Structure 1
Amino acid sequence: MGDLATMAQMKELDRIAIEERGIPSLELMENAAQAVAQAVVNLAGPADGRRSDGVIATATSVVRMRTETEPTAEEQREAEAAENIILSKNTDPTPRIGIFCGPGNNGGDGVAAARILLEAGYRVRAFLLGSREKMTPDERAMEEKLREAGGELETLDLEDRRTTAWLSTCDCFVDALFGVGLQRPLAGEFLALVQWLNRMRTPVVSCDLPSGVHGDTGEILGDAIQAKVTVTFTCAKPGLYLDAGAGRAGKVEVANIGIPWELVFEQIKQGREGTRVLPDYAKLHLPRRPVDGHKGDFGKLFILAGSEGYTGAPNLAARAALRTGAGLVFLGVPREIYPILAVKCDEAMPFPLPEKYEEILEKAKGCDVALIGPGLGRHPKTEKLVRALLEDLDIPVVLDADGINALCGHIDILDKRSAPTVLTPHAGEFARLTGCPLPVKDRLSAARAFAKEHHCTLVLKGHGTVTAAPSGNCWICGTGNPGMAKGGSGDVLSGMIAALWGQKHLKGPYTDLSELAAWAVWYHGKAGDKCARKLGEYAMLPSDLLDAIPEVLLENTDRG
């Protein structure tokens, strides 16, 4: 599980390391450049070109695409020079690396990486975008070292045919334009370069963040680099895992650049409002179940769900709860759909909802956890029932879908609850509940603020689902895929959360129920990833998740 750092936290961490701990900034930059250079080597292959694929393109075809009329003598000379540059790749298979640097310290990382790769025997050209007058002192120092090694920091001109011809033969590009410093949309030559790079098929290594991705939110600022690998420094940034930013980051590698571990622990890991990512390779080893346990020990769940036309949601939620270990699942549904659920359910125990509220309340109070909302509908009488249960129940409640919608305009009911509550909205439901505009641009901050204000756990679904605790701690999920974006997936998730919350052996004085909910989200996404590999993102169904849950839990159960 990896701790994440916001842009502000990283700037403060760098400041303390340099100004208070006396670590030379050039040393940190050199270490960052070494990590970037290694990522380039991993993609481009060794400097002797043994992995080269030979001919890159026929130069004449490249030239003809760029000239629609008969070329002048000067244009012909340029075309011939470009052709020679391209064809030279066939006789010199040494990997070629194009490095694009901004005028800040992220650009300095790129300049230093250029020198390291040049000294290692690669063909390297480094290009500057932006004003030379704005270059930082550290970048200027790295430029001097690059000159001493026989390199040069050139001014980029994409109109120069020789330059674009050379770049067309590159085996790898390095994006060192902005890092965590970007706050406004890309424009001008920076936007033009990003769009040009994205049209190429050459793999890109980004330094710290793909340029154009907001480090805290994952928002795309105008456009952004499509990286193959992002080498991020000291700590990963939330934007690498959230929303569209996650799709631009490629493989994320976290590099230690020399900031002392105890300083990172003090400033980031011990923070009262930490943010962690649960990556694809994370593990939470569930304890072995007590040998003398019985079904009551593993959670009695009360589910209030379903309405006419929505009989699948309660079935999916109930089956997911059972697959995730719940001992007993009582499924209360409207009387008119009870016959359908009675046929659908084998292990869960459906029952028609009584007419009297007191009887429903008594049934729910006899359970360990209540799950309210999947497919419930928005009839005023139903919403009144939901609000009454929230006021009267003193057991944990998982509130999903129309259960959340019933709270719109009645958020005070949530505030009055003393027992734990988790809400699992998607962006639209969250917007209806809070009145915030769509899209929710900063899901991490929005989720954290809501959970703290209303003293609940919030699971704000989306790419990189955010689970926020009342304490302010947050977890970002690194599993899941677009194939899960189908009606019913959320019902499965709500059942999984309820099941984990209801199992007595998973709870104790040191248990954080919010973190347990975050792991349910991770298991859910991991099951989705297994389905995608087996069935493909187009064909997979929410019901397929139910069949993948056992494998996920088996991989994450302590067998010792």
Structure 2
Amino acid sequence: ACGPGNNGGDGLEAAMHLQRDGRRVVVTWLGTPEHAPADARKSWERARATGVIWADVPPSNMTAADLCIDALLGIGITSTTTRTPDSRMLAMLTALHHSPAPVLAVDLPSGLDADTGQFAAGFNPPTPTTAHSSQKTRHTLSLLTLKPGLFTASGRDAAGSVWLDDLGLSPDYEPPSAWLTGPAKPPPRSHASHKGSYGDVAVVGGEGLAARGLGMTGAALLAASAALHAGAGRVLVALLDEGRMALDTTQPELMLRRFDALALEELTVVCGCGGG
């Protein structure tokens, strides 16, 4: 599925190479030779010369053994764009979303903002309704650089597996605007220290079953666990469960307290997790 611009031209280039490789290629193109950008027009000429099949609508008999290439729109659209897809583009997007075939997006999934990972209005993919649709195989071949939007918000699900082709340009061509990092490395701690040397966090929350029959102690315990993993020395947990839990056996390092036993003025307090 090829759009009218240069992203569509990239799709036409892919069609040409796949046809030369002996594949059966069907192309739906929203552009015209008269109005296409110069590069896209040349790609159209090369694709036509190889004998690809041209169609007004995508094939309806696609299977999981086939491949859909999404080359409708690239980086020219943002999440604040007021343009909505016309009927033909909408039909192609719908066919891509509902086809059982894997989808390979050229540079970006169509309609995705390269910076924010948000879809422009009218371009949101449908919400998966089955396990099959939620596990649909998706790939994105990002060109020149990796776009932040492929790794944020809706971009992570829409892009699937992300591949990069820098087209032979030096990585020094453009300085990166963001870095993908793993968990922060904890700072070194002195051997002559103990848990009281690294600050205290109190977590207040976690309504118990006795109040309304709705147990939400897990929310407070998860928050307390996060505080431990973030480096807090001591984590005190005041559950709103009438004192029914005295120990979390899976995390015995958590110190359970009554609320009135907390010296709040000396603590960093997290309040409200699972409070009802």
TM bracket (short chain)? 0.7 to 0.9
Question: Do the aligned residues in 1 keep the contact of 2:5 with 2:31 (CA within 8 Å)?
Answer: no
* Alpha-carbon separation, structure 2, partners of 1:227 and 1:210: 13
- Give 1:372's aligned residue: 271
Q: Quick one: which amino acid aligns to residue 104 of structure 1?
A: G
| 1:213 aligns with one of 108, 112, 124 | 112
Give the gaps of 5 or more residues in structure 2: 127-135
* Residues 22-171 of structure 1 aligned to structure 2 (within 5 Å): 100-147=1-48, 150-152=49-51, 155-158=54-57, 164=59, 171=66
Aligned to 2:98: 199
Aligned-partner SS, 2:174: helix
CA distance, structure 2, for counterparts of residue 170 and residue 353 of structure 1: 60
Q: Secondary structure at the match of 2:273?
A: coil
Q: Amino acid of the residue matched to residue 204 of structure 1?
A: V
Paired position in structure 2 for 1:186: 85
Distance 1:322 1:283 in 2: 14
Distance change (3 Å), C-alpha of 1:227 and 1:248: farther
TM-score (norm 1): 0.39
Match of 2:132 in 1: none
Contact 2:64–2:100 (CA<8 Å) still a contact in 1? no
Give the alignment partner of residue 243 of structure 2, picking from 330, 339, 359: 339
- In structure 2, the residue corresponding to 1:263 is in which secondary structure? coil
Is the contact made by 2:70 and 2:96 (CA closer than 8 Å) also made in structure 1? no
Q: Is the 8 A contact 2:19 2:51 kept in 1?
A: no
Q: Is the 8 A contact 2:26 2:55 kept in 1?
A: no
Q: Tell me: CA distance 1:301–1:206, structure 2 relative to 1, closer, same or farther (3 Å).
A: same
1:133–1:169 CA distance, 2 compared to 1 (3 A): farther
1:190 Cα deviation (Å)?
1.4
Mapping 1:383-394, distance limit 5 Å: none
Match for 1:257: what amino acid? L
- Matched residues, number: 253
Q: Does 1:301 align with 2:201?
A: yes
Q: Cα gap change, 1:165/1:302 in structure 2, threshold over 3 Å: closer, same or farther?
A: closer
Give the match for residue 263 of structure 1: 173
The offset of 1:249, in angstroms, is: 1.9
Residues 282-336 of structure 1: CA distance to partner in whole angstroms, max 9, x if unpaired? Answer: 46444565433311234322333345644443333334434665332223456xx
Give the residue type in structure 2 aligned to 1:321: A
Structure-2 separation of matches of 1:105 and 1:238: 21
Cα deviation, residue 229, structure 1: 0.7
- Give the letter for the 1:342 counterpart: A
Give SS of 2:243's match: helix
The structure-2 alpha-carbon separation of the partners of 1:296 and 1:165, relative to structure 1 and needing over 3 Å to count, comes to closer
Q: TM-score, normalised by structure 2?
A: 0.72
Q: 1:253 aligns with which of 144, 163, 168?
A: 163
CA-based RMSD: 3.5
Code of the residue aligned with 2:69 in structure 1: it is: V
Q: Is the 8 Å Cα contact of residues 111 and 153 (structure 1) preserved in structure 2?
A: no
Distance in 2 (alpha carbons) for counterparts of 1:294 and 1:228? 48
- Per-residue CA deviations over 1:19-74 (Å, capped at 9, x if unaligned) read xxxxxxxxxxxxxxxxxxxxxxxxxxxxxxxxxxxxxxxxxxxxxxxxxxxxxxxx
Can you list the C-alpha shifts for 1:383-425, whole angstroms capped at 9, x where unaligned? xxxxxxxxxxxxxxxxxxxxxxxxxxxxxxxxxxxxxxxxxxx
Q: CA–CA distance in 2 between the matches of 1:276 and 1:245?
A: 16
Amino acid at match of 2:246: A
Per-residue deviation at 1:208? Answer: 1.2
CA distance in structure 2 between the aligned counterparts of 1:307 and 1:199, rounded to whole angstroms: 43
1:233 corresponds to which residue?
143
SS in 2 for 1:117: helix
Relative distance call for 1:168 and 1:157 in structure 2 (3 A) is farther
Structure-to-structure mapping, 1:438-477, within 5 angstroms:
none
In structure 2, the CA distance between the partners of 1:312 and 1:185, relative to structure 1 (3 Å rule), is same
Contact 2:111-2:124 within 8 A present in 1 as well? yes
Q: 1:107 and 1:132 mapped to 2: Cα distance?
A: 12
CA-to-aligned-CA distance 1:478-500 (integer Å, 9 cap, x gap): xxxxxxxxxxxxxxxxxxxxxxx
- CA–CA distance in structure 1, aligned partners of residues 225 and 217 of structure 2: 13
Which residue is 1:177 aligned to?
72
Q: Quick one: distance in 2 between partners of 1:316 and 1:203? A: 37
